[in-house]
Structure 1
Amino acid sequence: MSNADELRRRFLESGSDDDLPIADPHQHFFDIERNYYPWLADEPVQNFRYGNYDAIRRSFLPGDYFRAAGHHKIVKTVLIEGEWNPADPLGELRWVESLQREHGFPHAMSAQAWLDREDVDTVLDAYGRHPLVRGIRHKPTAVARADHADDFVAPGSMRDRTWRDGYAKLRDHRLLFELQVFWWHFNEAAELARDFPETQIVINHTGLPADRSDEGLKGWRNALDVVAREPNVHLKISGICIPGQRWNIEANGRIVRTAIDVFGAQRCSFASNYPVDGVVDRMTDIFDGFKAIAAPYSIADRLALFHDNAVRIYAM
């Protein structure tokens, strides 16, 4: 019996967080000395949604990840592409493959691809044949909420014909799609899910509910309601840090509970988004927060949210 199986058995008996296995479905590794990540390496630094990110402009490798995880029992992880040099998307796969051979992590990967580029067939073919790759991420073109309209379409967006032609190829390669886009684009996401029902969509970072005003959260909740109607959409609860604040249950509990209320515990997964969320807080505190918010849920639901759903979605 593997360590994950043993922890799972113990947790089902005890319900104790001390026994809870975690499959982290959204984490990153970086080696900035060996590899080129434009957003981490280029100057001048552009502020990111959490503000200044100088603190994470450094290498972050498996040893760093497990030190950050502390007392939490991480048994499997999914590495999400780290905005590696876009001129060489397959280079990141080769590097991650070497990490996996040496450390046993990650257990799966969602790799970089550009669905509207001429190399899409070559790149997706390589990913589809590789045992580590489960999906791809290509952030579609998006706009600020004030600039968005119901009929929005732009090059590289989810309604762009060339982009959609690339997206259609994911089915034949049995690759899922990591969707990272603002929640006001979720009508477009729902259309995408309906038009390509055989392709699994995994929404990144809870739909980016950065506006915590009542009006902002109402819009976010309504957008979740729309996209959750599509059965081939799964939600990762992560990336909900607030700039300038430590991760805290009071601020994030409403976000987590709403997400689970809309999607259900069988269609959500908790994720660290580490080291990126390290701009704001420690990984131990983030997972402690998730565990505290999830405490009222059943043992089966907690196991699904922290482990089983990610293992199923990413075939780990």
Structure 2
Amino acid sequence: MGQAICKENSMITMSRRRFLKRVSQIAVTGALVSPGRRTCLGSQAGLEAAGALPIVDTHQHLWDLSRIRLTWLRPPLDRSFTPKDYEQASAGLNIVQAVYMEVAVPVDQRQREAEYVLDLCRRGDTVTRAAVLAGSPADDDFMEYAAQYRDNPYVKGFRGSLPVKRMSDEQVIRNLRRLGELGLRFDINVPPSALAEAAQVVDRCPDTRFVLDHCGNADPVAFFPTGRTPPRPAQHPAEQWKRDIARLGAQSNIICKISGIVSRVPETPLPAEDLAPIVNHCLDAFGPDRVVFASDWPVCLRGMSLRDWVQRLQAVVAARPETARRKLFHDNAVRFYGLDAGNNQSG
């Protein structure tokens, strides 16, 4: 692929030294995104930069349709996605570990899903080293189910349906508090309209560690500049999402997964500058120590490949300090999930 060339009007007034410095930054990172400026993506250079940084993928989906059935699959996801497929999709990206994320199997197949992924973790012949299993704190038997995994080193937490109308139920709050007592985490995956209620839940369970999935499911269309024709109406107001994310980010017992946004607009693959407002707001709201990279593969294929998503995110964060980028892509995940930093396997 050819090298992309980006000419910015601001370069006209740059001194020679600043110009050369900027060119060297683009050569190293493959891209540079600053507020109010257009992205310059050098595809090969960007991929090389991504490969140089070890990555922990905190949101990896896998499914084998010969083992489980999934009722929600639609093209291009209506087939099996195996560890071998993931290995091929992530080749060259230096993904050294991955955390499996439950795939919304029917309740009667949760045990089968758990057995499959935990066997995968035990074998250790792929990058999948830990798992977040299916389970909803709104279910009567949630704690009985969760407790069986309290001493399993591979199980890091749970994710399951959390109806907005039940988020403040005493049973839900009680179960989430008990989950924290077991040292397990809970992933919150709700629409932007429910983020305020999610913040209340997090506040009421201060000793439980939470994960906000997919940047709070923000819609990139909501952040399109005035005058640009969107492919469809925005799914939520941008300012309300920003306020709710800021509120969640102010709570120390929740981290944010930088993920999911590329599949929100399947009509067209979004360039880095369309993703930057969401990513940057989350990074600033949660701070450098409470954000983690997540691929959401293969669901990300609704919008773009895993490789393209990594490149775009690298572009958005290229101007941030190297320590912050390393925390985002690797260090925070190792710490938060209690992964073995010496157990890295390049994928």
TM-score, normalising length from structure 2? 0.76
Q: Deviations over 1:89-138 (max 9, x none)?
A: 22211111222244344111111112222322321111212111011002
Give the 5 Å matches for 1:1-316: 16-40=49-73, 53-102=74-123, 103-142=125-164, 154=165, 157-210=166-219, 212-213=221-222, 216-241=237-262, 242-316=265-339
> What secondary structure is seen at the aligned counterpart in 2 of 1:87?
helix
In the alignment, the residues of structure 2 paired with residue 312 and residue 176 of structure 1 have an alpha-carbon distance, to the nearest angstrom, of 13
In the alignment, the residues of structure 1 paired with residue 137 and residue 109 of structure 2 have an alpha-carbon distance, to the nearest angstrom, of 14
Q: Deviations over 1:236-270 (max 9, x none)?
A: 01000222111321211111111112111211112
Q: How many pairs are equivalent?
A: 278
Structure 1: segments with no counterpart, 5+ residues: 1-13, 41-52, 143-153
> What secondary structure is seen at the aligned counterpart in 1 of 2:241?
helix
Conservation of the 8 A alpha-carbon contact between 2:68 and 2:109? no
Amino acid at match of 1:217: A
Shift of residue 231 of structure 1? 0.7
Aligned pair in 2 of structure 1 residues 271, 190: CA closer, same or farther (>3 Å)? same
Amino acid at match of 1:186: L
Larger deviation: 91-100 or 172-181? 91-100
In the alignment, the residues of structure 1 paired with residue 145 and residue 112 of structure 2 have an alpha-carbon distance, to the nearest angstrom, of 11
Aligned pair in 2 of structure 1 residues 24, 38: CA closer, same or farther (>3 Å)? same
In the alignment, the residues of structure 1 paired with residue 101 and residue 306 of structure 2 have an alpha-carbon distance, to the nearest angstrom, of 17
Q: Percent identity among equivalent residues?
A: 29
In the alignment, the residues of structure 1 paired with residue 161 and residue 82 of structure 2 have an alpha-carbon distance, to the nearest angstrom, of 24
Shift of residue 277 of structure 1? 0.9
Structure 2: segments with no counterpart, 5+ residues: 1-27, 30-48, 224-235, 340-347
Amino acid at match of 1:136: F
Shift of residue 86 of structure 1? 1.2
In the alignment, the residues of structure 2 paired with residue 211 and residue 305 of structure 1 have an alpha-carbon distance, to the nearest angstrom, of 21
Larger deviation: 196-205 or 213-222? 213-222
Conservation of the 8 A alpha-carbon contact between 1:202 and 1:233? yes
Larger deviation: 14-23 or 132-141? 14-23
Larger deviation: 158-167 or 29-38? 158-167
In the alignment, the residues of structure 2 paired with residue 193 and residue 248 of structure 1 have an alpha-carbon distance, to the nearest angstrom, of 33
